[in-house]
Chains A and B, each alone.
Chain A
Amino acid sequence: MVFLLASCQTVEPWERDRLAKQDMQLTPNVLDARLADQVFFSKEAASGGGASAGGGCGCN
């Protein structure tokens, strides 16, 4: 992590227009992400890896 941070260039606020695009976000569409989480949670043993604190379901 230290090497990663050391190798990064500082990105100034006025250089962030492309980083602000919808598809550059970790969750570009919150509804698509919720749907995918629900579908995969109900069919696979692995889940998690995100910060969401949503309720469980009887599907798994």
Chain B
Amino acid sequence: MGPKNQLTPLALLSAAALSLPAFSASQPTERVVSVNTSVYQEGDADAAEVVFGDLQRFRVKTNQFNLSAPIGRDWSMSLGYDNEAMSGASPWGTVAASDGSGDLIMSGASIDDSRNGVDVNLTRHWRGQSLGVSVGYSGEHDYHSRSLGLNYERDFFKQNTTLALSVSYSSDELTPTDAQLFQRLEKGSKHTRSFYASVNQLLSPVSMLSLGFGITKRIGELSDPYKLRDVRPGKRVERTLTANYRRYFDWQTSSLAVDYRYFWDSYSVGAHTLAMSWMLGDEAGMQWGPMLRYYSQSAAAFYTPWDRYDQLETIAQSSDFRLSTFGAVSYGLKARYRIGAVQISMQYERYDSGSGYALSSAKTEHPGLVDFEVLSLGAEYRF
């Protein structure tokens, strides 16, 4: 070993302490300011499958900000802000088509809305454990959500194992526009309670695994007030099992991330999500890599391909494409370049959905299934 590599144990420990992974309960050591701007664009609806309304679907411009920082010796905080401006048309309902499938009734393209969301988190760190509280608000002209969360983390076995627990509650208010004109719900509310537990385990100096379980209970107005006929049960219980794996390779100084989630709920929806990304290059300079995501869900028990006006309004039904059987493949590229304390990032992702991608077979494909692209540009400053 040459003189350049002769580090003392104290220097090694200090270097390690400066770079403790985020999946321990340790206090962060750096202040990080990050900004991001993105454009989300959905593909147009197929004119042959639309009987009314506009074909141009959603476009969303998003600007984001985040600040995270240690405070003193035992505290840390984060502040997040999102602003979205969206416009375009969305499906109002479906009618039976002559070929046995459904045709879309779309809204006009006059939907023009914005959303502002803010989240603040404050965390107290002790030796080997931390407790954080977070509050959030998200507001649109017809939707307001307020949330509160608690997060607890505890390290075991020389910080090789971390247990993370979180609970959250949100209270949402809906005041749909043009309620009297279109005989929509004038005012409604829903309440969401969530619990999530995970265990993060270091497997080796180059790999780690996290396993998690979550349960979410939603109660209240869960139907979509903008649909012509949408009647959903007023209670929904969702469960998730997750596995996240990270592996570092000295070859090409690359990192592999594999994330899997199984979701099932009281609407009888079952869904698999598998996402993988691979980043190559030294994070002190240029990095790039591909990402791939596969998603498949089965339909809700009360899903119907077209709206059933022959059914009583008390019987659950929905022709929302998001409750149909479908699958999706998304793929993209991301690249980052660091110059000193500043990192510039760029990401492109394309999402293609269809009933043919689903693991289970669908009788008909919903005409409202959407394809979209997302392009984002970001910057981060660490100090």
Partner of B15, one of A14, A28, A47: A14
Q: Which of B346-371 contact A (CB under 8 A)?
A: 347, 351, 353, 370
Q: Give A3 to B9 CA distance when docked, in angstroms.
A: 32
Inter-subunit contact A13/B13 (CB<8 Å)? yes
Query: CB-CB < 8 A to A38: which residues of B?
Result: 62, 82, 84
Nearest CB in chain A: distance from B359 CB, A? 13
Within 8 A of B (CB), among A11-53: 11-32, 34-35, 38-40, 43-53
A17, A45, A49: the one contacting B261 at CB < 8 Å is: A49
Interface of B is mostly: strand
Chain B residues with Cβ under 8 A from A22's Cβ?
283
Q: How far is the CB of A58 from chain B (nearest CB, A)?
A: 3
Q: Are B40 and A53 in contact (CB under 8 A)?
A: no
What's the nearest-Cβ distance from chain B to residue A47, in Å? 7
Nearest-CB residue, chain B, relative to A30: B66
- Whether the Cβ atoms of A19 and B248 lie closer than 8 Å is yes
Chain B residue at smallest Cβ distance from A13: B16
Name the distance in Å between A39's Cβ and chain B's nearest Cβ: 6
Tell me which of B13, B160, B238 contacts A48 (CB under 8 A).
B238
Contact of A24 among B15, B21, B201, B297 (CB under 8 A): B21
Total chain B interface residues with beta-carbon distance under 8 A: 107
Enumerate chain B residues within 8 angstroms of A47, measured Cβ to Cβ: 238, 263
Q: Could you list some 22 contacts between A and B, CB below 8 A?
A: A4-B201, A10-B158, A14-B16, A19-B21, A19-B202, A19-B246, A22-B283, A24-B21, A26-B23, A31-B35, A31-B66, A31-B378, A35-B64, A38-B82, A43-B370, A49-B214, A50-B196, A53-B119, A53-B166, A54-B147, A58-B142, A58-B174
What is A's interface to B at a CB cutoff of 8 Å?
Answer: 1, 4-5, 8-32, 34-35, 38-40, 43-58, 60
Not counting A5-B161, A44-B295, a sample of 5 additional A-B residue pairs whose C-beta atoms are within 8 angstroms of each other reads A1-B199, A23-B255, A23-B279, A28-B257, A43-B370
Partner-A contacts on B (CB < 8 A): 9, 12-13, 15-17, 19-23, 34-36, 38, 40, 62, 64, 66, 68, 78, 80, 82, 84, 115, 117, 119, 134, 136-138, 140, 142-143, 145-149, 151, 157-161, 164, 166, 168, 170, 172, 174, 190, 192, 194, 196, 198-206, 208-212, 214, 216, 238, 240, 242, 244, 246, 248, 255, 257, 261, 263, 265, 267, 269, 271, 273, 277, 279, 283, 287, 295, 297, 300, 322-323, 328, 334, 345, 347, 351, 353, 370, 372, 374, 376, 378, 380
